[in-house]
Structure 1
């Protein structure tokens, strides 16, 4: 396995599928403003900050709003989203994730979370996964969004390991680019068409083993 000391996981789409809740929350904002917002539209919001997501949403609907109104809408979207995630249960952890993390732990590999989500701790608590992570770096700790590598570099620093000893697990192109920019290895979770820049791409964690981290 070479010199891999730590694995850093993105949250949404890697550990758990919260994208559906983001989608429902954004869709209700769009409908309130008088236009529709499709799942295809939602793909454009993957890995993007809340305010940028709102700007994309408004451009789809051809709606222009002042900053104060935008802040209120972004806050409303987040409250909608929080209502959904506060009902989440551990059975929403994506298949194979826990088994893979247990394997990492038994092999002495450190585990960090590197997510843009400001609700990461809430989600981990709901999933009863908090104890799996040695370090959690989320949107409350960083100022630069992916593809900036800040969130991953901070994780490596807190784990006290070199970036070159880390493997990042990501489902978004911006996240893969962030890992590359941070000089880290990366595994894409999803489609090779989108995540082709990753060292390897797998559909998910079912059957995935530490032995596949031979880069």
Structure 2
């Protein structure tokens, strides 16, 4: 079964060890913020610092593991149509829209959507780390280190597949930032598949 996350919203769900999570961009150029928490102890969370450090690269794709803050593999990328995702930038929030875009009445962003979706799992807002930003295209200037957010490279129907290496709580959004999504808000689809017996 394929589930839909409506534009500028988010959800949370359980993912068992061995299950595969497929995140799909049904229309193209739409980012999805992905979080993972250990179900055994939600203080163990997905870590961009650990994952990028151990991979020795900025852009993770097929075969790369996503580590926790305790240096355990939480998820592994097993298929990837796009090959460009971001693991540097934090989930957009009311403050993002106020500080970067100057919005007087800002949307709560992915951070607010994730906080609401994760609350039933007793995960507080301050526990939300930097997300693995699926399909987000962040460019880094090699000379100055300046970051620019470019349109996602994902086309309609492109996907990434991640396999859980522990029992997890997952947070997932259809990103709320105009700049990240080439100035249009679209849905994100996802599917969970059990291991093949």
- Which TM class, normalised by the smaller chain length? under 0.3
- Between Structure 1 and Structure 2, which shows a larger proportion of strand residues? 2
Larger radius of gyration: 1
